[in-house]
């Protein structure tokens, strides 16, 4: 059964009942009846509470696809107890919701593997597996993880210290409940080590590290505080710390003015008040209308000092270095030859709309600033080195990629025994087939065949009318069909899932066995070359394979135990066997392989030897 | 890959080839042999440059006669790109050379690019100058022969350019090792060896196999005279991106004079006079001597152009004029100066008129009889003789002189327009004297006459017959190549109305209508939401772009765009725009995405590629018509109608559509690239407008996509992007990409067809093709 995190008396739609928070669901049961409301954790998206001191102690849970959500009223008396109960729910649910949000779109359908007492594993660490809440449990796992990390065999991602790796692992586990459950069972159950668990899962950590390093960029919009008109004709601008920061960032001159004047000459509030009334502010506004309002604005001795001339000349006020990349250097074309010809007509002379020029420059500068805030403002020459590509291939910009024949690589030779014989045999077979086809083709005479067909078609109408379908067989067919449908319907109707407890045990057994299989095969296959983790030696790997094989052997017993348990619960044991069949096949296969390998390589007694041969 | 066309081995530096590229080669091989001019239209971004280069270089390397290739492009980025393509091609050729001799031959192939002193200077002080003119002048001061002589004779007496001096230590022809040098390479080579890159290229010109520079160096008589003199007649000339070649021609022969220019010219004249007086007192004999030398020199220069090797005729100065004796009245420097003074004064008086005047050169000359024989070069050499420094300060005077020369030379195809006011409603006079060329064929005529093979090519020169008509030549080959694609790599859409069904147009009457402005804006906003990486938007004019950007900002439309992408805008300053462009590309690379607002016919629209993530969508806001109120344009239209029977509306439509196509065509490079092309104006829906688009764009505009509202266009765009973003797992090879076998197959097929035709010809002896009784039969008939 799912472990219950907390529980309380609560009414839902004015019906009394019990509210329970398990580690997978929030569940409300009406008194004396069956379950009526069940919300999986993934669906929880928002939480609302009634104010303290309100007549009723309420809790509202918003759902991912349903903002209306569910309303629960805590009914325990006295009210203080109800409060504390609600607080418990609140903290737990807040955790769940924030986890939901951080994990983004965790498909609501994905079944959450429940934790709980499990077969073999739980016996080893009963206290920890039984810890009810998700949070403390994971904390317990962390303490364990560190101890494993310290054993020195942990594959540490290159360039990252153990602490970072540990943090990443934690995050991955939190984001992935199934993995968390598996981890809990296998690692904390002591069956495999932390390092082994993560071996082959480095990509998850790398992906997590990548997402962690990806910072959200600044929003693109221009800093342009627009005054709101309040009744009475006054304007109002709400200043937030964020706005202040943005203004300082966008207009360093304001920051300078602030440093010069606050708090000696002006108070903070006065500074902003005067700034928003000054010409300076109007010059900073991203609008060409501001020039029209210029005459309305009062003179301000303090701010007018900082006023700069409008940047509306054809040449920008701030001169910049030339772009060195000739592929995009427009100035070079302009200077390529002496200017000739008549001047361009009025509409084609750039910069005739004087008022728009400061605005346009502001756009370009703002965009550049945003880019630099994300990419750093290294000089262009350096930038190119960093971006790579260009250095290796000077023609990368002009090359036509699709004209290159990438497919003509020699390819990898398929290694197989006695290749020549295979091909010869194939050739022979193909030849024979061809020969056969040819000879048969010679036999077929189209005209004859056609005539033959025609003659056979003669009198088809008469024969068609004589066609009779025997009653008996048709009835038999129909009845068998009906039976089939009925049987299916029956199965469908009666198809009851395994009891939840058993089902959970089944899945746990399967995921565990899968993990063992994964570990087994990774220790058999040659290690991937692209990961920057220390590659275990052959001896280590074969030892690991042997260990995993040992675990896999036990799968049989486990399944048998499950079958027995199923019978006890009133489920046909056969169904369990069928359900576990693919797994058993895989296990059998792995074991057979292991046995075959050990015996093939000298008696099978020394698992170290085959490993060394593998490499 | 290497294949043969008519026994000519062609090395193409890729494993595959587009069928269009093959077709171009197939059509051009005979052209190179028989010599003649041709016009080729080929879809943008399908390897036009590399295709032509590989063909011509193959030809050059195969035939023992060393024919030079003169490859002209529009802009420095394009020149640099062409040089890189050539460099890559040669690298490939060297790598697949079969014998050591062949290899050596390939390695000795020289290709260089030429641009101005400003772009190639590495002198620490001179190169800091912002204006090209100033760089030119200061460079001349440090490098002209008189100064050099003095400096070498007496080291330290005058300042010389070390980089230029270092060149003298090398043998001519070995200033730079053989190979292909891009502009950046040449600069680096100069820095490494302490030699002047500009003069390296200039002095290597007679030795190179390929020279790549801009149109002006061949078409503009002022420049061509100095730079393109040594180029021999059998050189192959290619004008790439030549869709605006007529404008370049016209520009090279047009001049504007303004009041400040005249003031500056008259100051120069005074200074010149003073200098002469001064020298007359100090060194009368020297002046006389120098002057005699000058006159001799001029005559020698004329004599140099002996008939067996006539360099390009100077279009500004017909042959007879060149050979004529130097007129007597300018023999004496004083007289010449006095004359210039009078001329400047005369122009100043003309400028006082407060109404528009348009007249032909002939009638202008009637006012002014004796200016006929001023030569610009005369002015320059005079200044040099007088050892005046800083030529740039006298540029105004030079301009006046060339103005005078042009006015005196041509009677037809030019017009003088005096505009006293800048705009119609201006009250303060700001007079401009336009001397405008109306006939593009005048400037390019010497090129066609001098060189035997001229190739004019671009992605957008539809309709093809327009160019031969305007430039007055007869092409041997005139071809437009379609685009073969296995899947539609681009989606042209014509948006004629907004989501609110209000028609959108950049027509002058409605362009500032708030509904139109908002609808244009919502197109940008919506596309910025759905298109990844870069979006480029083009406006018909700077005026419109600047006003609409301001309007969008005030309407809060740009705020919506800021939410999705960064915004960059083209500014009047070229360097500022380059920086914006660089940042735009960074934003596209980074994934942040950006919108670039720029102007058709503007700086950005020419020579910058927006391939791959740099441009997933191009939006053309409005039809980029020229400003029809312009007097110069009106005069030109009138001339086109009278001289070549090209109707005004036809020319305007053609001109607008070629520019629109040019903007839009920059999104594609290669056939795996993809992009959206949005034409936002109801006038694009008209069949006559669309017919003027190049065939390779037009063939993909479906009937549905030619008249859309914004929301419909968005739906189509989304659908398109979803399909195009799939992995192109179908193999393009054989359809839009050819391997060597495909080429051989095609060649076999062609041969077969040729054979078939021949047989047909033999069988079909009906000479007149009318199925009547032929001559032989008549003869056989026994009468």
Residue B422 lies in a domain: no
Query: Could you tell me if B453 and B496 lie in one domain?
Result: no
Identify whether residues A132 and A194 lie together within a single domain. Answer: yes
Range B749-764 average pLDDT: 74
Cβ within 8 Å, pair A347-B544: yes
**Does B208 share its domain with B103?**
yes
Looking at B394, B409, B424, the residue that finishes a domain is B409
Residue A310 counted as domain residue: yes
Min Cα–Cα distance to chain B from A62, Å: 28
Query: Residue B635: left (phi > 0), alpha (psi -120 to 50), or beta?
Result: alpha
pLDDT band at B329 (very low <50, low <70, confident <90, very high): very low
Interchain CB distance below 8 Å, B632 and A345: yes
Per-window interface: B 600-659 vs A, CB < 8 A: 601-604, 606-608, 626-627, 629-630, 632-633
Arithmetic mean of pLDDT, A193-198? 80
The Cα of A387 is separated from the nearest Cα of chain B by a number of Å equal to: 10
Q: Does position A156 have pLDDT exceeding 50, yes or no?
A: no
Q: Phi and psi for B140 in degrees, rounded to 5? A: -60, -40
Which of B241, B111, B257 shows the shortest CA–CA distance to B181? B111
Chain B interface mutation, best of A400, A407, A408, highest count of B Cβ atoms under 10 Å: A400
Contacts with A, B 181-240, CB within 8 Å: 182-184, 214, 216-217, 220, 222-223
Phi-psi region of A360 (alpha: psi -120 to 50; beta: other; left: phi over 0): alpha
Final residue of a structural domain among B458, B480, B502? B480
Closest Cα partner for B172 from B205, B194, B217?
B205
pLDDT at B93 over 70: yes
A15 in Cβ contact with A34 (< 8 Å): no
Cβ contact (<8 Å) for B15 and A335? no
A350 and B599 within 8 Å at the Cβ level: the answer is: yes
Query: Is B630 part of any domain?
Result: yes
Most confident listed range (B136-140, B325-329, B444-448): B444-448
**Is A323 within a domain?**
no
pLDDT at residue B287 greater than cutoff 60: no
Q: In terms of domains, do A148 and A40 share one? A: no
Nearest CA in chain A to B78: A327
Query: Which CATH number characterizes residue B110's domain?
Result: 3.40.50.300
For residue A53, name the pLDDT band (cuts at 50, 70, 90). Answer: low
Q: Are residues A96 and A167 in the same domain?
A: no
- The structure tokens listed for A504 are 């959970």
Per-residue confidence (pLDDT) for residue A287, from 0 to 100: 67
Q: What is the pLDDT of residues B589-648, one digit of tens each?
A: 888 899 999 999 998 988 888 988 899 999 999 999 999 888 999 999 999 999 888 899
In this structure, is residue A415 part of a structural domain? no
Whether residue B60 has pLDDT greater than 70: yes
> Does residue A363 share a domain with residue A243?
yes
Is pLDDT at B486 greater than 60 in this prediction?
yes
| DSSP one-letter code for B496 | E
Considering the domain boundaries, does residue A583 fall inside one?
Answer: yes
Which of chain B's residues have a Cβ under 8 Å away from the Cβ of A387? 589
Minimal CA separation from A212 to chain B, in Å: 17
Asked whether B215 and B239 are in contact (CB, 8 A), the reply is: yes
Q: How far apart are CA A303 and CA A286, in angstroms?
A: 18
Asked if residue B557 is part of any domain, the answer here is yes
Mean pLDDT score, A333-345: 82
* Nearest CB partner across the interface for B566, out of A370, A405, A408: A370
Q: Give A97 to chain B, closest Cα distance, Å.
A: 28
In a domain, A549, yes or no: yes
pLDDT 10s digits, B697-739:
888 888 889 999 999 999 999 999 988 887 665 566 667 778 8
Q: Would residue B729 count as lying in a domain?
A: no
Does B152 reside within a domain? no
Using DSSP, state whether B22 is helix, strand or coil. Answer: helix
B277 and B334 in a single domain? The answer is: yes
B241 with B368, same domain?
no
pLDDT of amino acid A479: 93
Task: List beta partners, residue A38.
Answer: A27
Is B14 at the interface with chain A, CB within 8 A? yes
Distance separating alpha carbons of residues B46 and B489, to the nearest angstrom: 12
* Cross-strand partners of B179: B110
At residue B86 the predicted structure's pLDDT band, cuts being 50, 70 and 90, is: very high
Please check whether residue B96 lies inside any domain of the structure: yes
Give the number of beta-carbon pairs within 8 Å between A and B: 273
Residue of A nearest to B114 (CA): A336
**What's the confidence (pLDDT) of residue B597?**
96
Same domain, B548 and B638: yes
Question: Where does the pLDDT of residue B522 fall: very low under 50, low under 70, confident under 90, or very high at 90 and above?
Answer: very high
Q: Are residues A176 and A254 in the same domain?
A: no
Q: Report in angstroms the alpha-carbon separations of B113 from B128, B190, B421, B452.
A: 22, 14, 42, 22
Check B16 against A403: CB less than 8 A apart. Answer: yes
Exposed/middle/buried for residue A28 (C-beta within 10 Å: 0-12, 13-18, 19+): buried
Q: Tell me if A261 is assigned to some domain.
A: yes
State yes or no: pLDDT of A299 exceeds 80.
no
B594 and B658, same domain (yes or no): yes
Q: How many CB atoms within 10 Å of residue A329?
A: 26
Residue A305 and residue A185 share a domain:
no
Residue B121 near chain A (CB below 8 Å): no
Which of A221, A341, A349 lies at the smallest CB-CB distance from B563?
A221
Q: What is the DSSP letter of A41?
A: G
Give the gap in angstroms from C-alpha B562 to the nearest C-alpha of chain A: 5
Max CA separation in chain B (angstroms): 104
pLDDT for B155 equals 81
Q: Which residues 57-76 on chain B approach chain A with CB closer than 8 angstroms?
A: 74-76
The mean predicted confidence, pLDDT, of chain B is 82
Last residue in a domain, options A180, A213, A246: A213
CATH label of the domain that carries residue A61: 2.30.29.30
B542 closest CB neighbour out of A288, A322, A352: A352
- Minimum distance, in Å, between the CA of residue A245 and any CA atom of chain B: 19
At which residue do the structure tokens 């690019």 appear? Answer: B113
Mean pLDDT (chain A, rounded)? 73
Q: Where among A42, A72, A102 does a domain terminate?
A: A102
Q: Give the closest of B87, B252, B542 to A348, CB-based.
A: B542
Give this complex's ipTM: 0.86
Token representation of residue A73? 């009223």
B580 touches chain A (CB under 8 A): yes
Residue A388 has pLDDT above 60, yes or no: no
Provide the shortest C-alpha distance from residue B94 to chain A (in Å).
16
Stretch A279-287: mean pLDDT, rounded? 76
pLDDT exceeds cutoff 50 at A416: yes
The verdict on residue B133 lying in a domain is: no
Do the Cβ atoms of A327 and B587 come within 8 Å? no
In a domain? residue B307: yes
Are B619 and B681 in a shared domain?
yes
Structure tokens at B305: 């152009």
pLDDT band with cut points at 50, 70 and 90 for residue B206? confident
User: Based on the domain organization, do A41 and A80 belong to the same domain?
Assistant: yes
Residues of chain B found within 8 Å of residue A214, distances taken between Cβ atoms = none
| pTM score | 0.72
Residues A139 and A40 in one domain: no
As a whole number, mean pLDDT of residues B207-236 equals 85
Q: Assess whether B237 and B285 both reside in one domain.
A: no
SS3 category, B385? helix
| Nearest CA-CA distance, residue A377 and chain B, Å | 11
Chain A residues whose beta carbon lies within 8 Å of the beta carbon of residue B672: 401-402
Q: Please check whether residues A66 and A190 belong to one and the same domain.
A: no
- Closest chain A residue to the Cα of B117, Cα to Cα: A336
Q: Is the pLDDT of residue B141 over 90?
A: no
Q: What is the pLDDT of residue B740?
A: 82
With 80 as the cut, is the pLDDT of residue A257 above it?
yes
Q: Do B670 and A343 touch (CB under 8 A)?
A: no
Total domains in the fold of chain A: 4
Of the residues B365, B386, B409, the one at which a domain ends? B409
- Report the run of H or E that residue A99 belongs to, with start and end: helix A79-102
Position A449 in a domain: no
Q: B302 falls in which pLDDT band (50, 70, 90)? A: very low
Shared-domain flag, residues B603 and B525: yes
Q: Minimum mean pLDDT among A149-153, A295-299, A305-309, A587-591: which range?
A: A149-153
Residues A240 and A367 in one domain: yes
Is the pLDDT assigned to residue B501 strictly greater than 80? yes
DSSP result, A326-367: TTT-HHHHHTSS---SPPPPGGGSTT-STTHHHHHHHHHHHH
Q: Which helix (H) or strand (E) holds A38?
A: strand A35-40
Q: Cβ separation of A357 and B571 shorter than 8 Å?
A: yes
C-beta atoms of A288 and B550 within 8 A: yes
Instruction: Test B575 with A330 for CB contact under 8 angstroms.
Output: yes
Say if residue A42 is in the same domain as residue A169.
no
pLDDT at B305: 35
Q: Which of A336-345, A400-409, B2-11, B416-425 has the lowest mean pLDDT?
A: A400-409
- The residue of chain B with its CA nearest to that of A399 is B85
Do both B286 and B190 map to the same domain?
no
Lowest mean pLDDT: which of A313-322, B363-372, B549-558?
B363-372
Q: Give the whole-number percent of chain A exceeding pLDDT 70.
A: 70
Are B670 and A347 in contact (CB < 8 Å)?
no
A367–B214 CB contact, under 8 Å? no
- Asked whether the beta carbons of residue A346 and residue B119 sit closer than 8 angstroms, the reply is no
Question: Is residue B472 domain-shared with residue B563, that is, in the same domain?
Answer: no
B380 neighbors B305 (Cβ within 8 angstroms): no
Q: Which domain holds residue B744?
A: 740-780
- Verify whether the Cβ–Cβ distance B115 to A361 is below 8 Å: no
Distance to chain B for A204, nearest Cα, Å = 23
User: Does B72 have pLDDT greater than 90?
Assistant: yes
Write the residue in A333, A401, A404 that is nearest to B607 by C-beta: A333
Residue B518 pLDDT greater than 70, yes or no: yes
- Is A385 a member of any domain? no
Sole residue written with tokens 């959500």:
A69
Range of the domain at A148: 119-213
With beta carbons under 8 A apart, name residues in chain A contacting B75. Answer: 330, 333, 336
User: Looking at the 3D structure of chain B, how many domains does it have?
Assistant: 4
Chain A CB contacts of B85 under 8 Å are 398
Q: Do residues A596 and A524 both lie within one domain?
A: yes
CB contact (8 A) between residue A405 and residue B16: yes
CB pair distance less than 8 Å for A220 and B563: yes
Residues B669/A396, Cβ–Cβ less than 8 Å: no
H or E element in which residue B742 lies: helix B740-763
């Amino acid at each position: 059964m799912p472990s219950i995190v907390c529980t309380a008396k609560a009414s839902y739609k004015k019906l009394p009942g019990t509210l329970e928070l398990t580690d997978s669901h929030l569940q409300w049961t009406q008194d004396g009846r069956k379950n009526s409301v069940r919300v999986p954790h993934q669906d929880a998206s928002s939480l609302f509470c009634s104010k303290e001191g309100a007549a009723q102690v309420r809790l509202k849970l918003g759902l991912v696809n349903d903002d209306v959500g569910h309303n629960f009223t805590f009914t325990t008396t006295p009210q203080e107890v109800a409060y504390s109960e609600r607080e418990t729910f609140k903290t737990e649910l807040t955790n769940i919701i924030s986890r939901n949000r951080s994990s983004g779109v965790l498909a609501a359908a994905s079944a959450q593997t429940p934790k709980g007492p499990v077969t073999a594993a739980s016996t080893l660490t009963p206290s920890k597996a039984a810890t009810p809440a998700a949070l403390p449990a994971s904390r317990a796992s962390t303490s364990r993880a560190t101890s494993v990390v310290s054993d020195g065999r942990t594959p540490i991602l290159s360039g990252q210290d153990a602490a970072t790796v540990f943090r990443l692992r934690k995050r991955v586990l939190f984001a992935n409940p199934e993995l968390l459950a598996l981890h809990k069972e296998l690692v904390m159950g002591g069956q495999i080590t932390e390092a082994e668990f993560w071996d082959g899962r480095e990509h998850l950590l790398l992906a997590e590290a990548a997402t962690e390093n990806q910072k959200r960029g600044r929003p693109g919009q221009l800093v342009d505080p627009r005054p709101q008109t309040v009744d009475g004709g006054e304007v109002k601008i709400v200043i937030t710390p964020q706005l202040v920061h943005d203004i300082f960032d966008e207009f360093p001159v304001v920051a300078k003015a602030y440093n010069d004047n606050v708090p000696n000459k002006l108070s903070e509030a006065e500074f902003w008040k005067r700034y928003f009334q000054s010409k300076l502010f109007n010059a900073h506004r991203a609008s060409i209308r501001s020039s029209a309002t210029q005459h309305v604005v009062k003179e301000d001795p303090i701010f007018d000092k900082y006023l700069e001339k409008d940047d509306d000349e054809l040449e920008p006020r701030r001169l910049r270095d030339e772009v060195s990349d000739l592929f995009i250097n427009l100035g070079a074309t302009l200077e390529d030859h002496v200017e000739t010809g008549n001047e361009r007509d009025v509409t084609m002379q750039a910069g005739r709309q004087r008022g728009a020029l400061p605005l346009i420059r502001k756009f370009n500068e703002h965009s550049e600033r945003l880019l630099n805030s994300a990419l750093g403002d290294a000089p262009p020459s350096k930038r190119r080195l960093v971006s790579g590509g260009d250095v290796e291939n000077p023609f990368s910009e002009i090359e036509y990629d699709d004209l290159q024949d990438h497919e003509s690589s020699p390819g990898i030779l398929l290694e197989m025994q006695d290749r020549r014989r295979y091909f010869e045999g194939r050739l022979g077979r193909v030849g024979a087939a061809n020969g056969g086809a040819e000879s048969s083709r010679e036999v077929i005479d189209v005209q004859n065949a056609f005539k033959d067909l025609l003659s056979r078609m003669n009198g088809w109408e008469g024969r068609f009318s004589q066609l009779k379908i025997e009653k008996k067989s048709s009835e038999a067919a129909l009845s068998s069909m009906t039976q089939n449908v009925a049987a299916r319907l029956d199965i469908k109707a009666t198809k009851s899932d395994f009891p939840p407890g058993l089902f959970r045990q089944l899945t746990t057994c399967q995921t565990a066995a899968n993990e063992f299989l994964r570990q087994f095969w990774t220790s058999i296959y040659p290690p991937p070359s692209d990961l920057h983790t220390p590659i275990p030696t052959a001896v280590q790997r074969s030892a690991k394979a042997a260990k995993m094989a040992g675990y896999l052997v036990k799968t049989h017993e486990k399944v048998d135990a499950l079958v027995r348990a199923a019978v006890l619960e009133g489920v046909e044991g056969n169904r369990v066997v069928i359900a576990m069949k693919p797994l058993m096949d895989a296990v059998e296969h792995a074991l057979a392989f292991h046995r075959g390998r050990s015996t093939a390589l000298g008696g099978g007694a020394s698992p170290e030897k085959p490993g060394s041969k593998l490499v | 890959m290497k294949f043969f066309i008519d026994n000519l081995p062609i090395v193409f530096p890729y494993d595959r080839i587009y069928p269009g590229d093959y077709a171009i080669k197939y059509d051009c091989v005979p052209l190179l042999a028989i010599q003649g001019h041709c016009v080729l239209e080929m879809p943008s971004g399908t390897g036009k440059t590399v295709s032509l280069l590989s063909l011509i270089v193959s030809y050059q390397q195969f035939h023992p006669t060393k024919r030079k290739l003169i490859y002209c492009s529009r802009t420095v980025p394009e020149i640099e790109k062409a040089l890189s393509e050539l460099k890559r091609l040669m690298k490939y050729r060297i790598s697949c050379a079969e014998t050591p001799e062949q290899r050596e031959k390939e390695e000795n192939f020289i290709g260089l690019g030429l641009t101005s002193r400003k772009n190639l200077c590495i002198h620490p002080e001179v190169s800091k100058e912002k204006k090209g003119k100033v760089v030119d002048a200061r460079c001349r001061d440090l490098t002209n022969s008189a100064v050099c002589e003095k400096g070498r004779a007496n080291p330290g007496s005058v300042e010389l350019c070390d980089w230029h001096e270092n060149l003298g230590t090398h043998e001519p022809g070995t200033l730079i090792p053989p190979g292909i040098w891009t502009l950046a390479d040449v600069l680096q080579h100069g820095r490494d060896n302490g030699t002047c890159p500009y003069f390296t290229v200039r002095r290597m010109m007679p030795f190179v196999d390929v020279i790549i520079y801009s149109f002006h160096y061949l078409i503009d008589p002022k420049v061509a005279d100095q730079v393109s003199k040594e180029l021999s007649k059998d050189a192959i000339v290619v004008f790439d991106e030549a869709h605006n070649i007529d404008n370049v021609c016209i520009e090279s022969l047009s001049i504007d004079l303004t009041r400040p220019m005249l003031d500056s010219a008259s100051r120069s004249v005074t200074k010149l006079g003073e200098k002469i007086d001064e020298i007359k007192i100090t060194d009368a004999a020297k002046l006389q001597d120098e002057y005699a030398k000058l006159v001799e020199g001029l005559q020698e220069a004329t004599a140099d152009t002996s008939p067996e090797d006539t360099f390009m005729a100077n279009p500004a100065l017909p042959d007879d004029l060149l050979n004529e004796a130097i007129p007597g009245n300018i023999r004496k420097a004083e007289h010449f100066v006095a004359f210039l003074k009078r001329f400047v004064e005369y122009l100043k008086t003309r400028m006082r008129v407060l109404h528009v005047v348009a007249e032909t050169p002939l009638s202008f000359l009637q006012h002014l009889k004796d200016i006929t024989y001023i030569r610009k070069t005369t002015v320059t050499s005079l200044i040099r003789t007088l050892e005046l420094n800083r030529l740039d300060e006298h540029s105004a005077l030079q301009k006046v002189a060339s103005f005078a020369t042009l006015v005196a030379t041509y009677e037809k195809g030019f017009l003088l327009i005096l505009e006293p006011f800048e705009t119609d409603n201006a009250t303060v006079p700001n007079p401009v004297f336009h001397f405008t060329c109306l006939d593009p064929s005048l400037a390019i005529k010497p090129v066609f006459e001098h060189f035997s093979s001229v190739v004019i090519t671009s992605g957008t020169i539809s309709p093809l017959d327009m160019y031969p008509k305007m430039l007055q030549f007869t092409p041997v080959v005139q071809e437009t190549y379609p685009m073969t694609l296995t899947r539609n790599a681009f989606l042209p859409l014509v948006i004629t109305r907004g989501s609110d069904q209000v028609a959108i147009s950049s027509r002058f009457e409605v362009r500032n209508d708030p509904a139109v402005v908002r609808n244009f804006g919502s197109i940008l906003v919506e596309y910025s939401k759905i298109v990844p990486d870069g979006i480029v938007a083009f406006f018909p004019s700077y005026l419109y772009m600047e006003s609409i950007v301001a309007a969008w900002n005030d309407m809060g439309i740009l705020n919506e765009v800021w939410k999705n992408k960064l915004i960059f805008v083209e500014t009047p300053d070229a360097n500022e725009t380059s920086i914006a462009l660089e940042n735009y590309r960074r934003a596209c690379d980074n994934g942040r995405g950006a919108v670039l607002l720029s102007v058709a016919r503007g700086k950005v629209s020419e020579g910058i590629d927006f391939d791959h993530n740099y441009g997933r969508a191009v939006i053309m806001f409005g039809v980029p018509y020229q400003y029809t109120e312009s007097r110069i344009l009106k005069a030109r239209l009138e001339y086109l109608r009278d001289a070549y029977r090209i109707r005004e509306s036809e020319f305007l439509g053609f001109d607008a559509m070629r520019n629109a196509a040019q903007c839009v065509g920059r999104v594609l490079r290669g056939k795996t690239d993809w992009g959206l092309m949005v034409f936002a104006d109801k006038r694009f829906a008209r069949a006559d407008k669309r017919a003027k688009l190049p065939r390779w764009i037009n063939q993909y505009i479906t009937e549905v996509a030619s008249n859309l509202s914004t929301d419909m266009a968005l739906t189509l765009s989304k659908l398109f992007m979803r399909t195009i973003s799939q992995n192109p797992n179908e193999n393009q090879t054989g359809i839009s990409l050819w391997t060597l076998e495909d080429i051989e197959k095609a060649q076999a097929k062609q041969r077969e067809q040729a054979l078939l035709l021949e047989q047909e010809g033999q069988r079909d002896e009906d000479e007149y093709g009318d199925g009547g009784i032929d001559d032989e039969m008549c003869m056989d008939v026994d009468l």
